Amino acid sequence: MIFNTVKQLLIEKFGEAVIVAEEANQKQPALIIKSDLIVEVCFFLRDHPQTWFDFLPCLSGVDYGVEQQKFGVVYHLSSIIKNHQIVLKIITDNNRDEENLPTFKSISSVYKAAEWHEREAFDMLGIYFDNHPDLRRILLPDDWEGFPLRKDYKTAENYHNIKIDL
């Protein structure tokens, strides 16, 4: 199974510490990767002849709830040639302070597709990506306050003196 192959290959290449945890009992098993190594891991999985994950269909930022104080990014990788998929996750603790956004490394140097997805995660959840070529808001206006998909988001009352009425 591809999940075990990937796990084996990653441990061989980067050592035991690369896999923080795993969710193996799910329908779509996921590997939780050490977040510093995500770029190297993606590079390795993309170019390794056994895995060949050349396609990044989906990248989602996740807010794991107010009590959890955790933010994560979920990568769905897929291989067109080999026809298999893997889910990678990176998770970090964060105290929801706007001065201190959860920060990960950008994988847009590996998959260009990640560029806009990461901008969306920044826009919606306030997850900052280091080394991103063009990280600014994508769906919301540049001067929007706050990050709407955070679980503790409060709707603004005004936007440029336009009342926001729900």
User: Which residues would be at the binding site for another protein (CB under 8 A)?
Assistant: 23, 26-28, 30, 54-58, 60, 62-63, 65, 74, 76, 80, 83, 85, 87, 98-99, 101, 111-113, 115-116, 124, 128, 132, 134-145, 148-149
Closer CB to another protein, 15 or 28, in the complex: 28
- Name the minimum Å distance from CB 63 to another protein: 8
Q: How far is the CB of 92 from another protein (least distance, A)?
A: 15
Rg (CA), the chain: 17
Strand, helix or coil for residue 44 = helix
CB atoms within 10 A of CB 12: 9
- State in angstroms the smallest separation of the CB of 15 from another protein: 26
> DSSP secondary-structure letter at 67?
T
105 vs 132 by CB, closer to another protein: 132
Task: Indicate the length of the chain as a whole number.
Answer: 166
User: Minimum Å distance from CB 150 to another protein?
Assistant: 10
Q: How far is the CB of 99 from another protein (least distance, A)?
A: 5
Count of alpha carbons within 13 Å of 32, Cβ hemisphere only?
9
What are the structure tokens assigned to 101, written together?
A: 């956004």
Q: What is the DSSP letter of 25?
A: T
Whose CA is closest to 55, among 35, 22, 83?
A: 83
